[in-house]
Amino acid sequence: MARVKIFSTARCPICDKTKNLLTKWGIAYEEARVDADHSALREMAEVTEGARTVPQIIIDNKWIGGFSELTMLHMDDELEHLMETI
């Protein structure tokens, strides 16, 4: 199972950008499409305390936020540290 999970929709350019960046950085992820899977939508709402926008990103079952938060973690060199820990 991937340590990173992205809640997304089919027509979300920021979701696509997020997935492209993770791929570029060599980080495997699991995608949960909330527009196609009601259980994924319920899970996203529960894990994110009711977030209503996508993408929403989970690392090791911890909600980190969306695209902005992901890029901030990367810029602060915290994303690499998160991915190194087990």
Residues 7-24: tens digit of each pLDDT: 999 999 999 999 999 999
Q: What is the pLDDT of residue 69?
A: 96
Q: What is the pLDDT of residue 85?
A: 64
Q: Per the structure block, which two tokens stand in for 63?
A: 């909600």
**Which listed CATH number (3.30.70.20, 3.40.30.10, 1.10.150.20, 1.20.1260.10) goes with 4-84?**
3.40.30.10
Residues 21-40: tens digit of each pLDDT: 999 999 999 999 999 999 99
Residues 49-82: tens digit of each pLDDT: 999 999 999 999 999 999 999 999 999 989 887 8
Compute and round to an integer the Cα radius of gyration of the chain.
12
